[in-house]
A and B are shown apart, each in its own frame.
Chain A
Amino acid sequence: MQTSFTAEQLADPQVAESEKILRRCVHCGFCTATCPTYVTLGNELDSPRGRIYLIKDMLENGRAADAEVVTHIDRCLSCLACVTTCPSGVDYMHLVDHARVHIEKTYRRPLIDRMIRNVLAGVLPYPKRFRTALALAKVSRPLAPFFDRLSPLKPLAAMLQLAPTGALRRSDSMQPGSRAPEAERRGRVAILSGCAQPVLDPGINEATIRLLTRLGIEVVVPEGEGCCGALVHHMGKEDPALGFARSNVDAWTREIEAGGLDAIIITTSGCGTTVKDYGHMLRLDPHYAKKAAHVSALAKDVTEYLATLDLPKLNSRELTVTYHSACSMQHGQKITMAPKNLLKNAGFVVRDPPEGHLCCGSAGTYNIMQPEISQQLKARKVKNIEATRPDLIATGNIGCMTQIGTGTSIPIVHTIELLDWAYGGPKPAKLH
């Protein structure tokens, strides 16, 4: 596509990168077909092609973001289905990242919107604060219908409705330190302990550590790890996002220098997409560019890593699993076969839901910020999954587990919990 940027504009490396991305787009429109918001809303402005055009217009004219552009960019789930679909190789992810940073820098959001975003950014990445907030949410739940009636407060209602109603199990399984292999040593990995996931479901990392150590892998929880930064990154809050990235790069680099790492294991695919992008996010930082690129190269989804370990084939079990591929797994990281092959190899009957490419509407904090679209996508996803009549649902992303779990009575577990169970671990609590 033709672009018109001045030499002065192109001197900004962000703009120069976006210009290159825009030049690849031939405006063919294929991306519209697999975009969850276009499929739901039927308006080109809420499609990748429409957003690309809005971003192009805004950047070319060197204009501050305005309410219209912000509305349509905010509605983007960042599911990246468009990137999978695009034959021209348009790097929409980095274009929309740039747009979000531009919005954050040049647009003043309405007060309530700003407040909600700041609360999310100040709470979710920090496990202690998040745990406290969930306790508060539980007692405030009766307020949800009240918030739901006032448009700007709908996110608060969504937040309360998504908060788990049961008691949260506390776990100290993610204390920093090393877990020795229980079989002949085959490797050494770090695990990203994460922020929201260990609060919502500590069983996922526990299962990962159990399975890996049983397979002869030393698992290290490095000192100083924190949130991967995806959450604030997707809000366009560039500085805190890069802060999280640098701090994790430091933590893992120390571990690499201390004992070497074969991989950095990530059990939430949303985080995986971001950690794999650290090399790009920090490319302009001379102190971090190289280290970050190394970290990104080591980052592996847990299923991606397990696929390299040649697990033995197990007898089949009479359990049908519908595998929900998180967007960050299939579109963000392009991991499509490994999780399903692992499950099949472990004896499960695996099914794909129809429209598997469409997002479930979770998308980080999207289900809080855009509850109406999110609810429609959830209903569509649940209907598609239930049509395959599974005994249980497996996925690799805590966000999807929470989202889909609030829409169906079919149990939903993390892929790793099933694999741990199949290879000698305990049966996942949700299946009791």
Chain B
Amino acid sequence: MSEAIRFLKPRTAVVARRATIIGDLVDLLPPECVVHEARELVPFETDAFVAYRRLPLAVVLPKTTEQVAAVMRYCHRYGIPVIARGAGTSLSGGAIPQEDAVVLGLSKMTRILEVDPANRTATVQAGVTNLRISDAVSPEGFFYAPDPSSQLACTIGGNIGMNSGGAHCLKYGVTTNNLLGVTMVLVDGTVIELGGKHLDPAGYDLLGLVCGSEGQLGIVTEATVRLIAKPEGARPVLFGFDTSQEAGACVADVIGSGIIPVAIEFMDKPAIEICEAFAQAGYPLDVGALLIVEVEGSEAEMEATLKKIVEIAGRHGVRTVRESQSATEAALIWKGRKSAFGATGRISDYICMDGTVPLGKLSYVLEKTSEIVERFGLRVANVFHAGDGNMHPLILFNANDPEDAARAEEAGNEILKLCVDAGGCLTGEHGVGIEKRDLMRHQYSDADLNQQMAVRAAFDPDWILNPSKVFPLEGRPAA
């Protein structure tokens, strides 16, 4: 197990009272809502950032906002850390617990509360998966736009915690641009409502503050999201290039010319091979880099947009252009792309970076990334949201070799610093979590960080909500 990133020392007073705490939680909740047997806690020790693992003190799986509030009241009274967990798909370790913490899982809160076509909103419990929202509103002609690759499994609560993005966010924005309101339980158990069905709430935009706060300002239990009308048609088109640099330059040129396709996704050769092996989507295997560009609208609109993009791609030496010919083919193209990380597991362990860079720097950063990874004697596969400049180098390594794992982490840190130095940021959509916490000083000055921590402390003065995450352990205010 990796050890480079430290967790906070468990609060000894809390750990010592473990038996009492469990007894009290069992009294607060129905029996099927508390997990505390030693064996049963093990599967909760990590999320999709599986290199780091810590056993929790207990896991609670409440079914209602009232039950969440009861747990928060209790944990607040006794200073017990609480880690919110949606589907546990975080790639930055946002849901990894620690020995003195109660994991508060939202996986039993899976009801779709209301679909309101007239106001283009859906209100759901926090444990509803991202894709289920789109499925539920599809008969009304709508969808929920942000589509993380894990959308099949990840929850809207987790999406709000991490301000998640996805392939289609290029046009429609990320979670924060599609979130209208939440019901949230504060650290002391107070239940508040932020926003609603309207576009702009009166007063401060606290909703914007909550979105992306990684479970540190409160526990979101319900969300109202904006729905988008399904387009008349949508078509992914594959553009093959000889080199990643050409593909990268093409992306910058497309966006620079004022065209906003729904999505521009990038895959380099290793990523193409991995995804093709899994999905058999018909990705060209004889190219060095591939762009999946999705256009949408009427036939005429799609044709017109596509014509412009093909012209630009031509200037960057595009080798192959292939439009998907059927809905099945389009679905396979997206299935392959969205399964890229998991499919990588067929050939290797990996860690996935999430740096975002200005589009003009895409080619440069891709080149430097390869150099860094090579210097560490590792391999990399790149598959990412190119239109947003949101890079996802997957650094391949052997998890059963501790030295290899350490090298992968170091290479990852260098890549993220490279992104920041290129004028970008550490995370585009996966959140800081535990993974990028210690790099926050590379991104922010002390004054910046102190300001963010002051906001955090206003909500949670005792730092019990997801305490080991986001902010470097050194330089925190005394609780």
Interface residues of A (CB under 8 A from B): 1-4, 23-34, 38-39, 41-45, 49-50, 53-54, 57, 66, 68-69, 72, 85-90
Contact = CB atoms under 8 A, between A and B. Distances in A.
Interface stretch (B43-51, B251-259, B471-479): B43-51
Nearest to B105: A44
Contact of B129 (A27, A33, A89): A33
A41 B405 CA distance: 35
A415 to B, nearest CB: 23
26 contacts: A2-B1, A2-B349, A23-B400, A26-B48, A26-B341, A27-B46, A29-B87, A30-B150, A30-B339, A30-B342, A31-B153, A33-B131, A41-B108, A43-B61, A44-B43, A44-B88, A45-B43, A53-B43, A57-B39, A57-B42, A68-B37, A69-B39, A87-B278, A87-B339, A87-B340, A87-B343
A30 B342 CA distance: 8
Nearest to A52: B43
A87 B345 contact: yes
Nearest to A27: B50
B150 A29 contact: yes
A86 B341 CA distance: 11
A400 B427 CA distance: 47
Q: Which of B48, B109, B127, B129 has the most CB of A within 10 A?
A: B48
A29 B39 contact: no
Interface of B: 1, 32, 35, 37, 39-40, 42-44, 46-48, 50-51, 61, 87-89, 105, 107-110, 127, 129, 131, 150, 152-154, 278, 339-346, 349-350, 399-400, 405
B89 A28 contact: yes
A238 to B, nearest CB: 24
Contact of A26 (B87, B154, B349): B349
A243 to B, nearest CB: 33
B427 to A, nearest CB: 18
A34 B42 CA distance: 22
A44 B342 contact: no
Nearest to B405: A2
A34 B152 contact: yes
Contact of A33 (B153, B278, B340, B344): B153
Contacts of A27: 46-48, 50
Given A29-B150, A42-B110, A44-B107, 18 more contacts: A2-B50, A2-B399, A2-B405, A23-B349, A23-B399, A23-B400, A25-B345, A27-B47, A29-B88, A30-B150, A30-B153, A30-B342, A43-B107, A44-B105, A53-B42, A54-B43, A57-B39, A68-B37
A24 B399 CA distance: 11
B274 to A, nearest CB: 9
Contacts of A29: 47-48, 87-89, 150, 153-154
Given A87-B339, A89-B346, A32 B153 contact: yes
A158 to B, nearest CB: 20
Q: Which of A43, A85, A87 has the most CB of B within 10 A?
A: A87
Nearest to B108: A42
A31 B129 CA distance: 13
Chain B residues touching A, majority SS: loop
B229 to A, nearest CB: 22
Given A30-B152, A53-B42, A69-B39, A42 B88 contact: no
B72 to A, nearest CB: 19
Contacts of A88: 342-346
Nearest to B1: A2
A68 B87 contact: no
A72 to B, nearest CB: 8
Contact of B50 (A26, A44, A69, A85): A26
B50 A66 contact: no
Contact of A45 (B40, B154, B340): B40
Contacts of B87: 29, 32-33
Nearest to B110: A42
B83 to A, nearest CB: 14
Contact of B51 (A2, A50, A53): A2
Contacts of A54: 39-40, 42-43
B349 A50 contact: no
Nearest to A57: B42
Contacts of B350: 26
Contacts of B341: 26, 28, 87
Nearest to B37: A68
B127 to A, nearest CB: 7
Contacts of A90: 345
Contacts of A49: 43, 88
A50 B110 CA distance: 19
B326 to A, nearest CB: 15
Contact of A44 (B37, B44, B131, B150): B44
A69 B109 CA distance: 24
The 5 lowest CB-CB distance pairs between A and B, nearest first, are A87-B342, A88-B345, A87-B339, A42-B108, A26-B345
Contacts of A25: 345
Nearest to B89: A29
A386 to B, nearest CB: 17
Nearest to A32: B153
Contacts of B46: 27
Contact of A85 (B152, B344, B346): B152
Contacts of B48: 26-29
A297 to B, nearest CB: 22
Contacts of B44: 44
Contact of A24 (B32, B345, B400): B345
A255 to B, nearest CB: 36
Contacts of A26: 48, 50, 341-342, 344-345, 349-350
A290 B258 CA distance: 63
Contacts of B345: 24-26, 28, 87-90
B152 A33 contact: yes
A236 B341 CA distance: 33
Contacts of A4: 400
Contact of B43 (A42, A50, A86): A50
Contacts of A28: 48, 89, 150, 153, 341-342, 345
Contacts of B51: 2
Nearest to A4: B400
A217 B143 CA distance: 50
